[in-house]
Amino acid sequence: MDISLKAKRGLLAVVRQFGFDIIKGQRTESALLSSFGINLIFDVGANVGQYALNTRTDSYKGKIVSFEPISSVFNQLKAKAKNDPAWTTLNFGLGDYDGTASINISEYSVFSSILNQLPQLSEQYSDSRYIGKEEINIRQLDSVFNDYYSDGDKVLLKIDTQGYEKNVLAGAQASLKYVTCIRLELSFGHQYEDELLMMDMINILQKDGFTLVYLEPLKHTLNGGKILQADGIFLRL
């Protein structure tokens, strides 16, 4: 049995403890976007546009608004979106206030976070170590939501902010009633200071009217047979 299979079985055991299961079927993202008529994606923590580009591969033709606060990473994101008129890129982060913040920049930029790392993350991924800081602008989603939302839009809110997800949600309380679907990373163990773990995040989103309907292990967390995070998809049912 290879390590990847062991890790997948380990995740399955954890998920079933909470009353969920993992099944095979149609590619989830494509089914989600088409079945629920999603035509506006808020891509929070866009990095260099990986998620947005994947949705285009899944034949998604709707609007994308991507937020990336780190200037060097944003320049790469902007370059990838330049020929896509339905893809807007914004050089600031989202949180629970309008102002500025200091973000820690990792060697591998996907691990960058406003929050401080805990030792277990760098022990697992050596390229997650912080190599610098940058002062960034930060806004609440509630402050910019209506700049891009039109009546009748079906909205997917994707959040990938390395432990800062709860802050993004706190700054989106007025906007969430217009959101159909939320996709965000759920952590099984602490990797950043003050981040919420899986069950706490599920409980918060349930109070906001969202139900966890799908859980997918992140491929980069299968190293060494350890499950650190999974992507959760929540729907307003």
19-68 residue pLDDT tens: 555 555 556 777 888 888 999 999 999 999 999 999 999 889 999 999 99
Query: Is the CB of residue 231 less than 8 Å from the CB of residue 156?
Result: no
CA–CA gap between residue 71 and residue 197 (Å, rounded): 29
Nearest to 223 by CA among 148, 100, 129, 126: 126
Closest CA to 51 of 32, 25, 37: 32
**Local confidence band at 2 (pLDDT 50, 70, 90 cut-offs):** very low
- Distance (Å, rounded) from C-alpha 186 to C-alpha 89? 25
CA 5 to chain centre: 25
For 139-155, the pLDDT digits (tens) are: 999 999 999 999 999 99
Residue with more model confidence, 205 or 36: 205
Write down the pLDDT at residue 31. Answer: 80
**Three-state secondary structure readout of the chain:** CCHHHHHHHHHHHHHHHCCCCCCCCCCHHHHHHHHCCCCEEEEECCCCCHHHHHHHHCCCCCEEEEECCCHHHHHHHHHHHCCCCCEEEECCEECCCCEEEEEEEECCHHHCECCCECHHHHHHCHHHCEEEEEEEEEECHHHHHHHCCCCCCCEEEEECCCCCHHHHHHCCCCCHHHEEEEEEEEECCCCECCCCCHHHHHHHHHHCCCEEEEEEECHHHHHHHCCCEEEEEEECC
CATH number of 3-235: 3.40.50.150
What's the predicted TM-score (pTM) here? 0.86
